[in-house]
Amino acid sequence: MSDITDRDSSSGFVRLVDGFTERVGRAVSWLVLAMVLIGAYNAVARYLGRGLGVNLSSNAYLEAQWYLFSLVFLLGAAYTFKHDNHVRVDVLYGRMSKRGRLWIDLIGTVVFLLPFSLFTLWVSWPSVRNSWTVLEGSPDPGGLPRYPIKSMILVAFALLALQGCAEVVRGIALLRSDDATSGPDGATG
């Protein structure tokens, strides 16, 4: 949330959630490196193996690459939201006063982000539960198990909802403060 990024909120809940989201986001950033290295290996192994007449890659490597991409996307969502790097339609938003932007962010989080996150958790739970029940694996020979990666859907949307709650608390605190009265250029609005 753009103006809800003032991190000096006194709420212990907000600091706790922000700290956890920050640690998860930094850990996830290392997965990008792993994903790129595995992807590079897959590309080199495919062409080198073809030239040598041997198979140097496997379905596990290919699936590991897209599992890592999934983890980066899913687990990076709360971090991206915390740092206001998410996609936003910014036609009028940038011209609004700080207070107006806070209200838009607060309403958007309460009306859209939190219900969507909770709905996703609700509809994903049966699929994840069933995947664990049968210890679902890849349909491809030599592939990876699917149940751990499916579980990350629940983890990711729980983290996103938690960060959304922290942003709501922060937004309310900022709306109650005098800091929310200045406009985008620092003028009173």
pLDDT at 80: 93
Average pLDDT, the chain: 87
- Note the pLDDT tens digit of each residue in 57-95: 888 999 999 999 999 999 999 999 999 887 776 778 778
Name the CA dihedral angle for 43, 47, 49, 55, rounded to a multiple of 10 degrees: 50
Q: Where do the domains of the chain lie? A: 3-181
Query: From the centroid of its chain, how far is CA 80?
Result: 6
pLDDT band at 5 (very low <50, low <70, confident <90, very high): very low
pLDDT at 181: 55
pLDDT at 185: 44
22-35 burial string, b = 16+ CB within 10 Å, else e? eebbeebeebeeeb
- Note the pLDDT tens digit of each residue in 125-174: 999 999 999 999 999 998 899 999 999 999 999 999 999 999 999 999 99
Widest pairwise Cα distance in the chain: 71
